A and B are shown apart, each in its own frame.
Chain A
């Protein structure tokens, strides 16, 4: 067995069926061995999309996504995708080709120190010096990527290591004495959490992606129902609780639901779970829940106290900790005060539901998201790009299950939504997958229309066309005297013709009702489709301006109840 074959064998042993990649000079040996192998490979049209697709695969399935690129430019093209996965704790394995060992350091053709370049954006990395090391490194990479707080791992394989013969196939895990994620929460701390909950009169729960990654959604729901506490989420926490549930308030933050942003500072106890208190979630820190006691449950000790000072930290896996906490709360009955508070918040939620009913032309993005919601089922997966499209989706779309809302949160990577949808569809072939994009971000990755056509991957790409880089445009409108510097896209391409040139069907949509109709038939046809939806370029969500507190949103928050 040669090194490249060992990579393939090891990936298959880890349960991998599909990898996303793009060949090049230093991976020719690997691709030659892949030619005869029983392992699917999706040839993306840009390496960055291989990383995003692997990421989308990982987020939709909870399993490690694998991407592959050649040395030098191939490897550096993965960097944005690796950084995206790192910021959002997504387990991916990036395999890169490298120039032969004897040329490393010589500035050889297509040489880049990708291990060095990716050091701050990977959880760990390996560079096998001989083929015997490959099986252990791949197995260890999977273990590290998926355990504890997940994250990307990189393996950089010099060309001659891909070609070299193994003396034996030994895939025992590499000893890592420095890597011991804490999974079980400290029981004394959990008991203290119970006591704080018992004393609380106005509890709130705030959850992030950690709850989804940990598989703790059932335990979260049990906790919320037991203590009768409303639940808010971060962007990436969407789906941790069914957002149609009365107790679910929706997203908190810079473009959060008004009910969440208005209510958080009124609570006397905040139970934050699997969340890192990003600046986009908290707003200005000194006015974030200043009089609220905060319990912070997270598997990563470095997140405790990083942004927000907490009263009670519990380090460990959310599922374990919530299960123990629920057990301790068996006898707990919510007091009248708690019930009064929660009833008030539930009513406030209804009163502050954002307006989604419009019949305007040009279309309001709210109309589009509403019609998408009406067609999709709880099993459907929605991926988003970054910018206004993302915030509209996050704000107006109720996610009902975990791993069904996929978005680049921490890094905010434009061009993420479409390739992530490809990965999600490979992971969940039975679920409808819709990606919501702006016209700016979609143009960064539109070459992947070739990929979805070639492999017949029936993802639906929604392209919201407002001919602006809307999020920056919105900031310029509100905060920079309407000086729209470089945010007007001018003449956009004809997205329908663009898609058709790749052989992908496309529909141009301009009026209410058309999105629903086109999306329903796209799902029925089970083919890749692009929906080019022309929207009002002046529509913008209310926001927290920089330096504002969580309850200091600017812009008019339009309410559904005001629709006459």
Chain B
């Protein structure tokens, strides 16, 4: 894996402007955030933010320290090494003919994806997994004609206790 790829998990106060501050710090250092996901955490009033980013070690260390200085940021951890990584993706794919329909359903079964909406011309499929799995699934569907893709970005958690 790319050694400059990092997954940062942060615990932040659930307040307006926090996302803007965090994203702004990465921006100032010239790092492009790959994805950022935010949601409620196990503590009321606190959110967990998972950021995936390409950054060199020294730059990342500086961003981490700057993040730590934000009053609204409570904890930061680089969990790149031992994280369980998941992303959810919704794909709407064309059905050119009846054979295609069953082919797509078979692929979906192999990838443990779920079909959540069906029309005569399209299928809406939900798939969860790491980035690589989702990318492979999407590339299989490309031949049928993809109408829309919507991805959540990566959320992650460190393994172990």
Q: Are B20 and A178 in contact (CB under 8 A)?
A: no
Interface residues of B in 49-69 (CB under 8 A from A): 58, 61-62, 65-66, 68-69
Which residues of A, 287-330, contact B by the 8 Å Cβ criterion?
Answer: 300-302, 304-306
Our pick among B12, B13, B24, B62 for the contact of A120 (Cβ within 8 Å) is B24
Mark B65-108 against chain A: 1 for CB-CB distance below 8 A, else 0: 11011111111000000000000000000000000000000000
Say how far B55's CB is from chain A's closest CB, in angstroms: 15
Nearest A-chain residue to B67, judged by Cβ: A302
Tell whether A124 is near chain B: CB-to-CB under 8 Å.
Answer: yes
- Residue B30 interfacial (CB < 8 Å): no
| B-chain residues with CB within 8 Å of residue A178 when the two chains form the complex | 12-13, 70-75
Do most interface residues of chain B lie in helix, strand or loop, or is the interface mixed? helix
For A306, list chain B residues within 8 Å (CB): 62
Q: Is there a chain A Cβ closer than 8 Å to B160's Cβ?
A: no
Of B13, B58, B65, the most chain A CB neighbours within 10 A belong to B65
Question: Which residues of chain B (7-60) have a CB below 8 Å from chain A?
Answer: 12-13, 17, 20-21, 24, 28, 58
- Count of chain A to chain B residue pairs whose CB atoms are closer than 8 Å in the complex: 37
Q: A116-B20, A119-B24 are in contact. Are A302 and B66 (CB under 8 A)?
A: yes
A120 to B69, CA, bound (A): 12
Is A455 interfacial (CB-CB < 8 Å)? no
Q: A119-B17, A119-B24 are in contact. Are A179 and B71 (CB under 8 A)?
A: yes
CB distance from B97 to the nearest CB of A (A): 49
In the complex, the chain A residue whose C-beta lies closest to that of B43 is: A177
CB distance from B96 to the nearest CB of A (A): 45
Please tell me if the beta carbons of B68 and A301 are within 8 angstroms of each other in the complex: yes
A124 to chain B, nearest CB (A): 5
Q: Please tell me if A176 contacts chain B, counting CB pairs below 8 Å.
A: yes
How many angstroms between the C-alpha atoms of A178 and B69 in the bound complex?
Answer: 8
Within 8 A of B (CB), among A118-146: 119-120, 123-125, 144
Question: Are B74 and A301 in contact, CB atoms less than 8 angstroms apart?
Answer: no
Q: What are 9 of the A-B contact pairs (CB < 8 Å)? A: A116-B20, A119-B24, A177-B13, A178-B71, A178-B72, A300-B69, A301-B68, A302-B62, A302-B68
Listed in ascending order, the chain A residues whose CB lies under 8 Å from chain B are 115-116, 119-120, 123-125, 144, 176-179, 300-302, 304-306
Further pairs besides A144-B71, A178-B71: 11, Cβ < 8 Å:
A116-B20, A119-B17, A120-B28, A177-B74, A178-B13, A178-B70, A301-B68, A302-B66, A305-B58, A305-B61, A306-B62
- In the complex, the 3 A-B pairs of residues with the closest C-beta atoms, listed nearest first: A302-B65, A178-B74, A124-B71
